[in-house]
Amino acid sequence: MQESKKVFERYLSVERNASRYTIENYIRDITQLASFLKGKGICSNNKEEVDVSSIDEGAIRLFLGHLYKDHKKSSIARKLASIKAFFRFLIKKGILLKNPAELISSPKIEKYLPTVLTIDEAKGLMEAGNSQESGVRSQESKSKKLVTILRDKAILEVLYSSGIRVGEIVGLNMKDIDLDSGIIKVIGKGNKERIAIIGEKAREALKAYMEEGSRVRGQGLGNEPVFLGARGKGITPRVVQRLVKDAAYRSGVSKDPTPHSLRHTFATHLLDAGVDLRTIQEMLGHVSLSTTQKYTKVSVQRLLEVYDKAHPRAKKK
């Protein structure tokens, strides 16, 4: 199965021109299937590797059943979609004759309203990015710590200011940012390029981080990632996810926001301020307007909550 995975990864990169984030998700899901089957001793060949031609519908259903223990239905649906795409590719290349996942239905995903922060909560989250830890002794350590603090502050500000996805922010390179105009170039889903706008606060935070990063570690321009980790390489989505959760904890926000929550918050606050859906659609990079329309439900829901709390005859006592 290892060789099939490599060929599929090349196909995603070269022919499909998929983003790095998308490719990583596909390969991670397929690797998880292979690891599960190998651990169970199912579909293995003489070399104790998973034989892709031996994987049948029953084996895939067993894997999906295992996932239900600790995975959300949305996560299981995505993994099944990855597996189906993998086997469709193998059929297309003549490696297999039948897709063993073809008749497996995707789990029904519960509809939910996305987590959205209020303006005050979003402000508190942004200000939490200013916190600094004490106890750092050497000047060099203080400088590196300051770079990290400025980086985290810039990430939070850019996410809320632009509404870009977590995969888009970790994929930002130095050449993609124009601080003077407040414009950044991002590579979204399907490897499609679009322009995002950042406000004054985000520009200030980015400038402070980039200047300090250049002074401390000689961070340059061009294709170098904007947001670097401790080892000088680009950060991962998981780093950003942890950052948002930590900032929410420090700011006292009772909700459990994710980087995507800041994207939802960005869109909802624009809609509440009177920005039309078409403009928000373009800013978010949505192909379909129906995807953007879910934010109208969020706004109506918030209005109902405010009304129920405020109006003396809204609910029975």
Tokens of 236: 């991962």
DSSP letter at 12 equals I
One-letter amino acid identity for 43? C
Please state, in angstroms and rounded to a whole number, the distance separating the CA atoms of residues 97 and 80: 19
Active site residues: 165, 189, 260, 263, 286, 295
Contact of 34 with 51, CB cutoff 8 Å:
no
Angle of helix 294-310 relative to helix 259-272, nearest 10 degrees?
70
Question: How far is CA 22 from each of CA 93, 102, 166, 264, rounded to the nearest angstrom?
Answer: 21, 21, 12, 20
Q: Please, what is the Cα angle at 164 between 192 and 254, to 5 degrees?
A: 150
DSSP letter at 13 equals I
Phi, psi angles (nearest 5°) of residue 55: -75, 125
